Every structure is written in C-alpha cells, then in structure tokens.
Amino acid sequence: MSRTRTALLAALALVAGASGTALAVVPGDVGISAIPCTVDYKVQNDWGTGFTANVTITNNSAAKSSWAVKWSYAGNQKVTSGWNAKVTQSGTAVTAANESYNGTLATGGSTSFGFQGTYSGTNAIPATFTLDGVTCNVDGGTGPTDPPGPTDPGTGTKVDNPYSGAKVYVNPEWSANAAAEPGGSRIANQPTGVWLDRVAAINGAGGKMGLRAHLDEALKQKGSGELAVQLVIYDLPGRDCAALASNGEFGPTDIDKYKTQYIDPIAAILADSKYASLRIVTTVELDSLPNLVTNVSPRNTATPNCDTMKANGNYIKGVGYALNKLGDVPNVYNYVDAGHHGWLGWDDNFSTTVQTIKQAATAEGATVNDVHGFITNTANYSALKEPYYTINDSVNGTSVRESKWVDWNRYVDELSYAQAFRQEAVSQGFPSGVGMLIDTSRNGWGGSARPTGPGAKTDVNTYVDGSRIDRRLNTGNWCNQSGAGLGERPQASPAAGIDAYVWIKPPGESDGASSAIPNDEGKGFDQMCDPTYTGNPRNNNHMSGALPNAPLSGHWFSAQFQQLMQNAYPPLP
C-alpha cells in the first residue's frame, strides 16, 4: 500500500512553499495549531492506467456543518467514481463535497473519502488543497513508485502490519483459566482475542473485565514497546442466522440498537486519546456475511433466518457501519471475516463472498480503505497446511477434487485459501496492501491420530482420508470438535500475504452447549453441538463430531482444553 508523509510543523511553511506546496498559517501562531487544516492524499492502488486514492481531511479551525475540498491535477487524471463524498471534476479542477451523513467536521476532527480515477503518463500528487476556500498543508508525499515513507502522523500510528514488531495483549482472565488447568501454564501466556459478544461485555458483566479495563491492562503490558490488542466485534442484528448456538441479543430488525447501543460506545472508547499508543485489531462480525452467500434461497442449505437477513440488508448495513465508525479511529485496524476454505472454497462461493464483503465495506459511509485485511478460520478447525496431499494430486486418473472429503473444493487447507482470498479481494478493488490473519487456535490436529505420510493410493478416497491431518467427519462440522488440537502459536508475518497467525478464539472456550441451557446471553441450542446429531445439508448429513457435556458458547470447557493441549501440533513441551 502506498503511503504518504504529512508535515505538520508551521516552521516548514517556507520550505514547502518553495517546492510548490502551500501551507496556510495563522499570523502570530506557531506549531500544529497554526495550520487551519491538513489534507492527506494517498494513492492506494495504481495499475498504470488507473488508480484508487483515499483523502483524509483534518479541520483545525472552527467546527463545520458542511465542507468542500478542492484541488487541481497537473496531469490528465480523471475521477470516474467516488465514495463517502460527492466528487466532481471540471477540467483539471476537482471538488469533493460532503455527503448528507458526514457534513459535520468538529474542531480537530477528521473525515475521509475515496475515489477511483484514470490517467496516462504520470500520476503526480496534487500540489495544493483547499478546505472551504482556505489553503491547507499537503504531504511531502511518496508516490506509488517511491519507497515507503515513515509512519504518517496525519493518520495516527498506522503501520502496514500491526503485529510486526509488537507484543500482543494477553487477556488475564483467559490466562488465569488456562493456568488453573493441569499443564495449562505452558500456554497461559499466549495472546488471545477479547470477545465483545453483547452490549454488556463493553462495560463488563458477571464480574468480567469490560473494554476499558482490558485497554488499561494493555497499556500496562505495553511498556515502552509496541502492543497490539485483539478485539472481536460480534453482535449483529440476527447474528449467525445459520448457527443457533451463537445467536445474539439483537433481533433481525434491531439495526439502530446495534449502531447506538453497541458500535457507538465501542468506537467512543477506542477513540479515547489515552489508548492512542495501542494497535487495536478488530475482527469484524464473524460468520454472518458468508451466510448471505451459502445459506440463502434457492440453495438447499438455506435457512429462513438467513433469507430474512438477506432481504432486510441489516448484515450489510451493520458491517458497513462498524467499519466506518471503527475505521475513523486512527489506531484501529479492521479485519473482516472471510469464513474458511471448507465453507467458501468452492467456485460458486469464493468470488461471490468477496463481492458481498465489498458491498458491506462500501455501505453506511464505509470505504474499502476502512478494511485493513481479512481473517479466516476464526473459531474453526480447518488445517493450516495439509502436508501429505495437494489439490493437484490424482489417483488412478481421478483428481482429489472428486473425493468425498474435498468434494470439488478448490482448496484443501487454510493457508492456500487465505492467500488466494487476498488476491481475489485486491482484484475486486480492495487496497493492494491488505493482509490476512489465520486463526490457528484449534487447527493443529496432532496426537496419535495424525498421519505421518500420504495415504495408500488404492483409490482417491482412501488416499485423501489416509493423508489428511484434519480428522473431522466433514469440513462443515464446527462445534467443539473431538480430536482437535492447538495449532501454530501466534506469530507475525509467517507467510506471504499473512499478517499473523492468531488465537482469536480462546482455546478452552466452548463453541456451544451440547444440550439446551437456559441463559440471559441470547445463546440458543444448535444441534451441531449435540454429539448424537446426524447432520444436515450443510455438513453433508454427517454426525456432528462434537464433544459431549459442553457449556454455553464462550464458557470454559475444561475437557476440551485438555484435549487441545494433548493434541497440540506443534506439540507442547
């Protein structure tokens, strides 16, 4: 992703002016407050004949109820479409005016918009910008072919990979649960996600830490270095329409409650300047968007609840609103859920899922630039890598894609799926710098059942079943899977295009109850968590493979934790 540099010292005005960059200075004042406005213009993606750009405005003068930014191109750039602003062009002159929903611009406040354009020759960054007729400062700038500049102070402390060079927050509540288990001290210091799965979790419920308490603890753990905090944003209206165990507290039409009671309070806390030094990673609304692809009519996997959410648009609106509000906080990095290979790896699901995510990422004031990346396999069990067979293998002339296990999927593991998903997202207009996260908390599949080499080539099914380390009965099985083990430990930049392996799902926290349990958390009973359940079209009518005697989702499940440690791969010391 191309980055730019913003000079914010009024003392640089003469230097900048000499190079054709105008800085407006209030007489008698010096420093940052002397500049009435800053405009940060970034070329996000440039393919030689066209480009996308993001523009961030910061208003340091009186509050505004409407605004207009203007600039002129030195070349032949032409704006073809815009988002989050009304962007028009006359000759070389461009005007970007606010939409009805983002006209308010407080003193010290910022807003962003983006656009796509065409050009030939060079794509120089404009020299001068004005906000409502007042000249603003402009970046010293790195163009798309320049080496990356330093972190841009105009947008906080944003970096390309929030995990690079940073510690990651260890949730003391999960750590205490892990350490209390026999042998649990071996992993009790691992970083895991903090799940904000209902409104009460924001301030803390049932004696648990709230969001501010976690962020305060994160500041203590940070010390003088960098630290990333992982938050799970997870409370959409009609949440998880195909999985009753994780249904939420908001009904299908409660989009306004979701915005005002859930997202707005979270955004307000994250925007507190006290937490500006933290790298806050949000994984945004797991599972729900993929349901709009696979579990709606006319497919045989459709559910009435998913059809309802497709029709009312509240998944799209909710995710868009969350991305917009959270993306406005300079030190927040949004990663959108991208399912997993055993859900979305088929030809009729793969690119459609990216289209659906993009629809959400350009709704409710959000833009694709509010998406820092995507996460796969969250709270799931898909193997990171299948070492003993590939999608290109065949047995006696029969492709592994024809095996019962692969079932015509394009992918056999999460790493290949995540890397391909990233490429597809970029091809559909997401910034070229987007990264991927893979949840490896429970996909190790070690222990005595782990194969040590390829299966026999008697036939394609014998070969695949003997080779695969993923020992589930079907890739559609997702609840408290028997035989699973801890996977790769969290680490930054482990493979091309992958920002990190993460443990977003805290190992030992249940996926759902094995039988109905009355509760005030909005969590229903899903038969996929019942060990005796014989399945449905979404898992090709296999047994559920779930462990018995499981508690409600998110509650501590000691037996599962012990099995995860026993079957860890790489093994625990």
Active site residues: 287, 511
- The continuous run of DSSP H or E covering 505 comes out as none
| Contacts for 349 with CB less than 8 Å, ≥ 6 apart | 290, 293, 294, 343
Q: How many CA atoms are closer than 13 Å to the CA of 464, on its beta-carbon side?
A: 25
Alpha helix segments (H runs only) across 143-184: 172-179
CB-based contact 403:462 (threshold 8 Å): no
Name the token pair of 406.
């692969």
DSSP 558: H
Q: Count CB neighbours of 220 within 10 A.
A: 9
CB-based contact 500:163 (threshold 8 Å): yes
Quote the distance between the C-alpha of residue 289 and its chain's center.
12
- The continuous run of DSSP H or E covering 137 comes out as strand 134-138
CB-based contact 119:75 (threshold 8 Å): yes
Cα distances (angstroms) measured from residue 536 to each of 188, 201, 298, 402, 555: 37, 33, 16, 21, 26
420 phi and psi angles, rounded to 5 deg: -70, -35
Q: Which of 501, 410, 402, 385 is nearest to 461 (CA)?
A: 402
Q: Count CB neighbours of 495 within 10 A.
A: 15
Quote the distance between the C-alpha of residue 489 and its chain's center.
19
> Whole-angstrom Cα distance, residue 488 to residue 498?
13
Cα distances (angstroms) measured from residue 363 to each of 42, 302, 306: 21, 24, 19
Beta bridge partners of 232: 195, 283
The CA angle 311-315-318, to the nearest 5 degrees, is 130
